[in-house]
Amino acid sequence: MEFLFDPNLWIAFAMLTALEIVLGVDNIIFISILVGRLPPELRDKARRMGLGFAMLSRLMLLFSLSWVMGLKADLFEVLGQGISGRDLVLLGGGLFLLYKASHEIFVEVEAREQDHAPDTDPAVVKAAGARLFWGIIGQIAVIDIVFSLDSVITAVGMVDHLGVMIAAVIASVGVMLFAAKPIGEFVDRHPSVKVLALAFLVMVGMALTAEALDVHVPKGYIYAAMAFSLAVEALNIRSRAKRMALKAQAQQA
């Protein structure tokens, strides 16, 4: 129990938890956007299951560190470029994220008016809802594995103590679980923010694909660009709200 009083471990825990939360931002956004397609009564359940998968996948990878680090060894070469198991996972995840985010942008911007009238048969509605729910959970589970792999490799590079890594992962998922609902509700209320979030996921997909090809793109650049875009959009939201308030006042007068 003496290690509990080691300040170095607590500093490492705080730093790793903060880093895991930052690395989990893209995961929260992905979950929030997919969950927004579900009926309101199923969204909390889907969020909990999605973040539960995120924590489970991270813990499983932490308990198989030798296998995870072995993924960095080259399996074969393409045009003189070594391809490892990690590269294949990142490439698959990056391409999946590019496809999914681009498809969601199309649905958000172009396809809304093309929706057909919903089926009113309760049995059909229930079956369709179940398929949608588990389809979304499956997509979340797939992308969780990709994000978890990068997160665990980062954790191994920062901390040597497995217990600190596990505690940091659990703490960070707890924070994300608390933040996921308000973030999801905010994104649902503002369609323009949803498109920005999807554009952010496109950039993350491109970064993962580039990382698989040994081209490192610092995520700080992506986060900075997204923070600037969100700051501009926050001003637009405030401006729209003021215009609507003035319009309401003019109508009442």
Query: Under DSSP, is residue 121 helix (H, G, I), strand (E, B) or coil?
Result: coil
According to DSSP H, which parts of 65-218 are helical?
65-70, 85-109, 122-158, 162-189, 191-212
pLDDT computed for residue 66 by the predictor: 62
Burial 119-150 (b: 16+ CB within 10 A, else e): eeeeeeeeeeeeebbeebbebbbebbbbbbbb
Distance CA 35, CA 136 (A): 7
With respect to residue 226, please indicate whether it lies within any of the assigned structural domains. Answer: no
Is the model's pTM score more than 0.75?
no
- Between 240 and 121, the more confident residue is 240
pLDDT tens digits, 205-233: 888 888 888 888 777 777 788 888 888 88
Q: Would the pLDDT of 64 be above 80?
A: no
With respect to residue 162, please indicate whether it lies within any of the assigned structural domains. Answer: yes
Query: Under DSSP, is residue 74 helix (H, G, I), strand (E, B) or coil?
Result: strand
Distance CA 11, CA 8 (A): 5
- Max Cα separation, the chain? 74
With respect to residue 155, please indicate whether it lies within any of the assigned structural domains. Answer: yes
Copy the structure tokens of residue 13.
């825990």
Identity at 161, one-letter amino acid code: H
Query: Please, is 153 exposed, middle or buried when counting C-beta atoms within 10 Å of its C-beta (0-12, 13-18, 19+)?
Result: middle
pLDDT computed for residue 40 by the predictor: 81
With respect to residue 159, please indicate whether it lies within any of the assigned structural domains. Answer: yes
With respect to residue 139, please indicate whether it lies within any of the assigned structural domains. Answer: yes
The domain of 37 spans 2-217
Copy the structure tokens of residue 58.
């991270």
With respect to residue 88, please indicate whether it lies within any of the assigned structural domains. Answer: yes
Query: Under DSSP, is residue 6 helix (H, G, I), strand (E, B) or coil?
Result: coil
Are residues 30 and 143 in contact, defined by beta-carbon separation less than 8 angstroms?
yes
Is residue 20 very low, low, confident or very high in pLDDT (cuts 50, 70, 90)?
A: confident
With respect to residue 230, please indicate whether it lies within any of the assigned structural domains. Answer: no
Query: Under DSSP, is residue 80 helix (H, G, I), strand (E, B) or coil?
Result: coil
pLDDT tens digits, 134-172: 888 888 888 877 777 767 766 666 666 777 778 888 888
With respect to residue 228, please indicate whether it lies within any of the assigned structural domains. Answer: no
Pick from 173, 102, 178, 167: nearest CA to 144: 173
pLDDT computed for residue 204 by the predictor: 82
DSSP classification of residue 64: T
Query: Under DSSP, is residue 228 helix (H, G, I), strand (E, B) or coil?
Result: helix
Copy the structure tokens of residue 98.
């590019």
Q: How many domains does the chain have?
A: 1
Say which residue the tokens 């003496």 belong to.
Answer: 2
